[in-house]
Structure formats: C-alpha cells, structure tokens
Amino acid sequence: MKSTYARVHFNQAGTPVADNFDDVYFSNDSGMDETRYVFIAGNDLNQRWKEWGSSSFVIAETGFGTGLNLLVVMTAFRDFRHANPDHPLTRLHFITTEKYPLSQQDMTSVLSQFPALSEAALALQQQYPFGLNGCHRLLFDTFHTTVDLWFADVHEAMAEWRIPSEGLVDAWFLDGFAPSKNPQMWSETLFTNMARCSKPAATCATFTAAGLVKRGLQAAGFTVNKRKGFGRKREMITATYSPESDIKNTKGKATFDNIAIIGGGIAAATLTYALCQKGVATTLYCANEPADGASGNPQGGFYPQLHAQTSLASEIQAHAFLFARRFYEEINERAEFKHDFCGVLQLGFNDNVVQRQNNLTKNNCWPQELIRFVDKSMAEAIAGVPVPYPGLFTPLGGWINPPTLINSLLQLAASTGNLSIHPHQRLTDITEHNQYVSLNFASGLSADAQQVVLATGHELTAFEQCKKLPLRPVRGQVEAIPTQTPLNQLQTVLCHKGYLTPALDERHALGSTYIKRDTATNVRAEESHQNLLMHQQALKDCDWVTALTHDDKARAAIRLGVPDHQPLCGTLPDYAKYQQWYKTLRKHSEDVPEHISHRRIHVFSALGSRGLTTAPLLAETLASELCNRPLPLGRTLYKALHPQRFILKALKQT
C-alpha cells in the first residue's frame, strides 16, 4: 500500500530530474509555457470550454510528476469560470496517475519556481497526500476543479477506472517521461486503454513526436496530426479519437432534476451535502429530527481500521479516512462543528493484541503518517494519563460530535439553494415507476422523485425492496461518564475492546456494547455495568480505571451491519432482473450490464461503527455516480461496496 517516492535532483537550469528515468519533469526553457502550448493549446481547451454544453469536462493525464500541468490548467479553468459565470460548464475533473510521487518537500521546492501559480500551488500542497497507493480525491472548489490523483502504475490505474457507456475522458494530457526513457508506459496497453476510456471526439496532446506514439494512437482509433513542437522540439503530436466503428452510447446516462434522500444521520447528511454542491435539487426526509439515531451520540471515534496485510477492507478504510480528514477540515472552516483531531491510540492491552500490532508494524504496509507504533513511554505521553501499554497511534484521528457535524453539513447544503428538508416524515411505502419513484409517509404526505436514496440505517429492514439484503441491526449503548481525576487529563482517544474519549462538556464517551438483533433504545443498567467491566478488564494495569464513577448517563442506538462488515453504497439490485439475467449467462460474470443494474432506488447504509470514517468518501462516490461523473473509487473497491455483491454471491450458490 505504501508508495515509493521519486528520487530527484536538479540540473544546472534548476529543472527537476527524475533519477529513476534520467529525464526532466518539464522543459528547461519554461515549464508553464510548455504546459500551455502542448496541453492546453494542443487540446484547444479554451475554445472547447466555450462551446461545451455539459456541466463537467474530464481531462486524463498519464504522468502527474510535479503537478505543474494541473496547476496551470485549473488556474486557466478558474479564469474561464470568472469570465463566463453563467456558462453550463461548471466543473473541471482531472484524473492523473503517478507511480513514483514526489515527496511533499520536493513538491514544495519545485513549485516555488512558479510564483504566478502560488495560489494553486498552496492549495495543492495543503491537500497533497502522503505516499499511499490508490486513488486520492482532492476537491479544489475555489478553482472549480476535482482531482483524482492515482498513486499507481498508469496501466494498473487505468484498468481500475469505471467507464460509463459513453466513455469517460474528453481530453488527454499524454505526459510522462520520454518514450526512450520510459518504454514501460508508452506501450500498446496504454493506447488501447486510452481508446477504451475516451468519449467520441476526445482529443489528445503530447510533447513527443515519436513514431511508436503516432502508430500506437492510430492503431487505437485516433486521427493523428503533427504540430510544431515547443521550444527546441521540432514536432509534437495531437490527436482526436475517431474510430471507424464505435459502439459507445453517445447519449450517456439519463439526467435528472431532483433526488430524495431518506434519513437523518451521517450518511444522509454527507450525501445531501455532496449532491447540493454538485447543483442537484435535493429533498431530505427525516423520520424525526436530523442526528436522532446512531448519529446522535455526543462523541464518535474517528480513525481507520487497518490490518497487518493489505486487503480491500483496509484500502477502503485508509482512503476513506484520509478523504474524510480533508473533508472535515474544509467543512469546519466554513461551518464549525465540535471535534478534536487529538489522535487515536489503539492500546496493546494483551499479548494477542500486541502480536497483531507487531505484525502490522513489521509488514510495513502503511505510511508512518497514517499509523505508527509507539512504546509504553510514548503512549503514556500521548495519552496524558497512565497507560502502561504500547500501541498503535493514528495522529490524524480523534473524535467528532456527530450532531454538530450534521448540522454544519445541512447548513452548508442549504446555503447552495438546492436543499429542502422535511423532518418528522417517516417513510412507509416506496414504489418505483418507469420515470419516477412515489413516496408515502406516515403523516399522509405523498411525494414523487426521479431518484431516491435510502440512508435510513437499521430501518432499511422495513422496506420490501431490501428483503434480499443480509441486514443485521446491532444495538450499542455508550456511557457518558463525568470527568474526574485523572481522566480530566486524557489527551487522545483510547481504544482497546472498547473506547474512551477526552472530555466534551465535562463528560467522556465510554463504550460500547454490541447486541445483535436488538432494536430497543432504552438505557439499561446492566449494559452500563458491562461497559465499565469491559474497560476494567482490558485496562487492568491502570489503577484509575477501577475508580471510575458513573451517574447513569448513557445513550443507546442501533447500528446496521452486513456479513462482510463493509458498507452498502450503490443502486439497490432488483433481484428478479438479476436472476433472469444470470440464467442467460454461459459463464459467471460480475460485469452486470446497465439495463440490468439501472434503477431509481439506491442505498447508502450499513456503515456500522465506522460511519465518521467512511461516510464522506462514499457519499462523494454515490453522488458522482448519480451525476454521471468520474468516481473516486476504482472498480475493485466499488464492487466491494455495491449492494449487488450479495445478490451475485447468492446467485452463484444456486
């Protein structure tokens, strides 16, 4: 999972040179001018943007390098938006790959050479991820730009892009080190993937005029032209995707004007925010007030659940956590909510846990910036209270108050003018029609929507359309114990079998119980005793744990899980359609055709006890899918979260 950073030195002209490839990152003459000439002018972007009729424009780049191309193009796009505020094109989407990313220090050093790009450079440096393989979605709203930065081999990354039926990419920045220096990239696989990803009439520009590039593009269906090269280069290539026969659906996915979200927790709030930010008219229906269910707890731990070996579950957790941290910082700057990114300390409280933690450290899968081992003395210094255990520390984690977070998200969503909220509306019936979905509520209210997302937590079990999903409600009670000595000195979230937080409003969250198939929310004295006993047994070497006092303040709520412990995020499968399609297959397949998977009802639920970690990225994923924009998850992770995974598994077993 860890990326290998690039090794860089600077030549006599001050241009960065990649030691791995013995080639410069950009022209010695002028990197900015090279980008403008080769990629912006080569793709005729300024004119194409003016003539564009869609809301988004997608650029794909084959070598992120220093990020210079991104900074130049997103600055140009911001200028376009300022000059054309009423233009239908409102968002630039930039997808880029880098196998050997620059370190933060090298990135800062390189970009300091371009003072004209200082604002964009600062924005990039503030969000630039540390070396973790996979897709990092970065949102630059002041530049009207979304970036998917893939730390991966270009061929592996492109194979993971989810391609709509009409194609994905409108313009290519075919960058990277020279073909003679980097033959692994400039291969037939690259050009084949470009054709697979391109929309009809997609353009391409590259600094090189090498014959293998010209022939590769032509063989893949591009019409190739040569132009005068930049600076001392004699020629460069531009191209347009125009295959002799193209079966792509040029109409694309049907658009919609409105969407209804059912729910009031962290899933519903993050999705509401993501859709409103994308300009979608959104109506939120809550059974009670927002943040009334499991998202109503005063404090929730915020950290990823990582394993010693890389796995789909760990990848989802790691990338969701890093996106969420950036997301929450942006939200807090605009509408403050109660939180403390004080870090999370997972204590090695017995030999088995210590062994698992040692395995995680020895395998060296995760960057130190994400999670690191700390010995007993370091753990105690971090905690601020006596904890005679080693552990794993997540410095970017902490705790969040979900009710104030949800309030901030809905406040910002409402400020877009795209949100309507209807509290105290419990959905009782949902019926899907060809062009819309009808909703009926217990109050007698009826409504129609073109798309509906069920983000109702454990109440998902009430809907007939969800009966084929293996839903597992779990009751959890969390204590709110009064602050006391030495607990008032606690400086980080402690995790073991349970968790304990620093104080908020003079109380600490201590939890939690897990009782399957119990949906009652009354506070129970026996569960309070169970929570205290769990902490006393796990932290038996901490004298202060046995002295903790409790005044019967607690809260119970219901989480929703599924057998593989991953969230549900995507279109709700129609079991009958899947079953009929599956019978017609000659061999098993998980590439479900759009006419089978298409539906107007979607689910976003089963976040379990990690909703604060996973909700922002999954909301961005579902909102992007609904708006027919590039996804921040690769195909492998997307399938691991899609509700159809259980339907396909069941069909394979029949």
Considering only CA atoms, which of 285, 276, 290 is closest in space to residue 337? 290
With respect to residue 636, please indicate whether it lies within any of the assigned structural domains.
yes
Q: Which of 530, 561, 592 is the last residue of a domain?
A: 561
Residue 606 in contact with residue 560, Cβ under 8 Å? yes
- The confidence score (pLDDT) of residue 225 equals 95
Residue 5 CA, distance from chain mean position: 22
Give me Rg for the CA atoms of the chain: 26
Residues 416 and 32: their CA atoms lie apart, in Å, by 35
Same domain for 71 and 184?
Answer: yes
Tell me the CB-side half-sphere exposure of residue 133, using CA atoms within 13 A. 18
Integer angstrom CA distances of residue 546 from 37, 97, 532, 536, 603: 70, 53, 9, 6, 43
Whole-number pLDDT of residue 368: 93
Q: Give yes or no for a contact between 166 and 249, defined as CB atoms under 8 angstroms apart.
A: yes
pLDDT of 251 reads 58
Closest CA to 577 of 644, 649, 654: 644
What does the pLDDT read at residue 245? 65
Residues of the chain with pLDDT under 50: none
Total H helices, total E strands in the chain: 20, 32
176 & 266 share domain: no
Q: What pLDDT score was predicted for residue 593?
A: 78
The domain spanning residue 416 has which CATH number? Answer: 3.50.50.60
Q: Are residues 501 and 595 in the same domain?
A: no
Question: Using one digit for the tens of pLDDT, what is the confidence trace for 467-525?
Answer: 999 999 999 999 999 999 999 999 999 999 999 999 999 999 998 999 999 999 999 99
DSSP 152: S
| 3-class DSSP assignment, residue 525 | helix
The identity of residue 69, as a single letter, is N
Residue 621 pLDDT:
98
556 with 527: CB under 8 angstroms? yes
Can you spell out the DSSP letters for 18-87?
Answer: ETTTTEESS-SS-HHHHHIIIIIITTTHHHHHHH--SSEEEEEES--TTSHHHHHHHHHHHHHHHH-TT-
Beta-strand ranges (E) seen in 115-168 are 134-140, 145-151
Are 524 and 638 found together in one domain? no
SS3 of 328-389: the string is HHHHHHHCCCCEECCCEEEECCCHHHHHHHHHHHHHCCCCCCCCEEECHHHHHHHHCCCCCC
Determine the Cα–Cα distance for residues 318 and 315; give it in Å rounded to an integer: 5
Please give the residue range of the domain that contains residue 416.
258-291+403-471+564-652
Let me know whether 121 and 222 are in one domain: yes
Same domain, 222 and 262: no
- DSSP code at position 141: G
pLDDT at 588: 64
pLDDT on residue 17 = 79
Q: 608 in the Ramachandran plot: left (φ > 0), alpha (ψ -120 to 50) or beta?
A: left
In this prediction the pTM is 0.95
- Predicted confidence at residue 305, as pLDDT, reads 94
**Distance between CA atoms of 489 and 369, rounded to whole angstroms?**
25
Residue at 251 is within a domain: no
Helix H or strand E encompassing 57: strand 56-61
- CATH code, domain with 121: 3.40.50.150
Tell me the three state secondary structure of residue 155: helix
> Tens digits of per-residue pLDDT, 149-197?
999 999 999 999 999 989 999 999 998 777 777 778 889 999 999 999 9
On whether both 80 and 94 belong to a single domain, the answer is: yes
What is the per-residue pLDDT for 249? 64
* 486 in a structural domain: yes
How far is the CA of 157 from the CAs of 112, 222, 443, 633, in angstroms?
29, 21, 49, 11
Q: Tokens 């004209």: give the residue.
A: 116
Of 68, 92, 85, 83, the residue nearest 143 (C-alpha): 92
Tokens of 416: 């877009």
The verdict on residue 297 lying in a domain is no
Q: Does 216 share its domain with 356?
A: no
